[in-house]
Amino acid sequence: EIQLQESGPGLVKPSQSLSLTCSVTGYTITSGYDWSWIRKFPGNKMEWMGYISNSGSTNYNPSLKIRISITRDTSKNQFFLQLNSVTTEDTATYYCARGHYGYPFAYWGQGTLVTVSS
Amino acid sequence: AIVLNQSPSSIIASQGEKVTITCRASSSISSNYLHWYQQKPGAFPKLVIYSTSYRASGVPSRFSGSGSGTSYSFTISRVEAEDVATYYCQQGSSNPFTFGSGTKLEIK
């Protein structure tokens, strides 16, 4: 059974970079599908941030394009989120998820809360 | 970006009641790429309906979806206590993928 698990710091200072890891078990990320980061803000708004495909290409939400980077380590079956120059408005629960282009996100991690605060 | 206007923002229903949530898109969407999720407190979003009207694995038959173009709906035919959650529509028809603002379902 496929499982995704986010990990990373729960507190980041303003202007610094947020870095998260998604560890995938039960499926090899190079075998297929797209591997996304999605966040949920306080107050329930959900935002798709971007994905890295099974081939390694990336697709980012234009609203984040200058600040975001999604990379991977295929040897560890992990993919990563880096979000630069964070502000308090980046405080959210961050999820990793598996999808494929426009088809649904059928598998999600449990989510990790990241608070941006000094 | 396609904006999904989801309504109502909250519903208070009695057990056994029928509830319907509407999701209206700012531009036409392929019905293949409109999906609905259920998120219970403290949990990740769970796929309930995909491609407008197909129930995900293990989802009870009281959940259904319909629609086309810019107008979509999600229905619970007879609400049960376990359905308390926030429900979201999501489109994958156009980049960036976007979500509706959510509908919080509570039981009287």
| Among A105, A84, A88, A85, CA closest to A96 | A105
| Among A43, A24, A21, CA closest to A33 | A24
pLDDT tens readout for residues A36-78: 999 999 999 999 999 999 999 999 999 998 999 999 999 999 9
A100 in Cβ contact with B34 (< 8 Å): no
Per-residue confidence band for A29, with pLDDT thresholds at 50, 70 and 90? very high
Nearest-angstrom CA–CA distance, B50 and B89: 10
A50 in Cβ contact with A60 (< 8 Å): yes
DSSP letter string over A29-61? TTSSSEEEEEEE-TTS-EEEEEEEETTS-EEE-
- β-partners of residue B90 are B35, B99
pLDDT tens readout for residues B5-50: 999 999 999 999 999 999 999 999 999 999 999 999 999 999 999 9
Residue B103: is its pLDDT beyond 90?
A: yes
Residue A101 has a pLDDT of 85
Residue A65 has a pLDDT of 85
Determine contact: B97 vs chain A, CB below 8 A: yes
pLDDT tens readout for residues A95-114: 999 999 889 999 999 999 99
Residue B72: is its pLDDT beyond 90?
A: yes
**Whole-angstrom Cα Rg for chain A:** 13
In chain A, residues with a C-beta closer than 8 Å to the C-beta of B34 are none
Dihedral angle sign, alpha carbons of residues B98, B101, B105, B106: positive
pLDDT tens readout for residues A76-96: 999 999 999 999 999 999 999
In chain A, residues with a C-beta closer than 8 Å to the C-beta of B50 are 103-104, 106
Task: Kindly state the average pLDDT of the residues B45-63.
Answer: 98
In chain A, residues with a C-beta closer than 8 Å to the C-beta of B4 are none
Mutate to test the interface with A, among B44, B54, B105 (most CBs of A within 10 A): B44
Task: Kindly state the average pLDDT of the residues B71-97.
Answer: 97
A53 in Cβ contact with A47 (< 8 Å): no
